[in-house]
Structure 1
């Protein structure tokens, strides 16, 4: 957690979030008013946060990783737009004039460390060249569109980072993605599997692409599928930037 995120949690009146994420920071917010909901209640959470903020109280919506990557910040902006709420960034708060009217909210998106960054650091250097990030959750995106994105990324030889690879109800999407990518990659292409990065239950493994369907994954897992240039070195996964093709890396 960044210092800014820590400072925000210390100063706000209310913290709103998915119950699982709220529980992860419970020790930091034990004296706060907390609004937590279960999965698929995102709109209700944002609605509650907006209502609290419009009452003149400070409120933080917590997300896992970075709030702008598969998280809640976009929904905040969408709902404020739908409600005709004028959003101002913190740096503009002191510039408002007395004649400014309408419903105003000061909104700050506090950056975090996304799973693709924390997971990559544990694997070594899998994202040192071009990569694509795709979520396998078809709850909000049609699977046909997800398939097209996987196909395009695989054909273009991107390193592919997969979010939301498997849940109890969505247990076939990862193997389907594996089959698509195998049409463009060698079966021995390294695949990094990182679960619960930087948490007590953290697990890091490297599998060959051909065995990806046997890897233990869940909703806390991020999958890193190497490009044709990616390789495993000892217990690490590395995608070269290309320096060795232009310079001598051995003196």
Structure 2
């Protein structure tokens, strides 16, 4: 799989972008201190354009946009990854059960899935975040609750395909129970599809986090890419022509989403034999 991945330049480029952001996010506490982010302690020029001292300019409080963008990657990526884990776990559980139990339980689960699909995801996420209160935890839950349906339908379809294969009938004939069939025989065959879906889900989750935080549902004391866009927009960056305040978090979101998308597509080409055959 590694050799096949290395033959796909787009996938390598996407993975390189993700690794770069991951390294910056993990290493940021080593070179960014609380005083550099505290509006009461910084003394830089306000809304200053890029310069030698401030490569990406400053915000209305005099803080470095470069340092804010790097620091914001920590929570933006964390929320995206955690919400994706919750989304995949919930969607996989529902999809497996709905695909294996095709009676009343399976139909009931798919009715619930279809009901969530029919609901507009953004208003539902906004409502959940408002009910749960401001903060990263509420945004994470809201994203997971509104994003699991695609994974559930995907896993259910793959589960039905796997259980139609002869080796499942042989497993049943040898006395394998429902739990053993789902976990030992079906789930391993569904995992490649889940892996590909997860990379695309992370990209969607990061966009959702930025949207909800921009709307004021995030933690007002934390720095994320969404909160940077919100502060820039409502702080007068647009009217002041401070493009250097708006572009860095927007470009960071774009690069990370593109990185996950390119990586996910490359993995999909490798793991899906039909895609590889026609690539």
Same topology, TM > 0.5: no
TM interval, shorter chain, is: under 0.3
The structure in which a higher percent of residues are helix is 2
TM-score w.r.t. the length of structure 2 is 0.20
Q: Which has the higher contact order (CA 8 A, sep 6+)?
A: 2
Higher strand share: 1
Structure (1 or 2) with the larger CA radius of gyration: 2
The normalised TM-score by structure 1 is 0.22
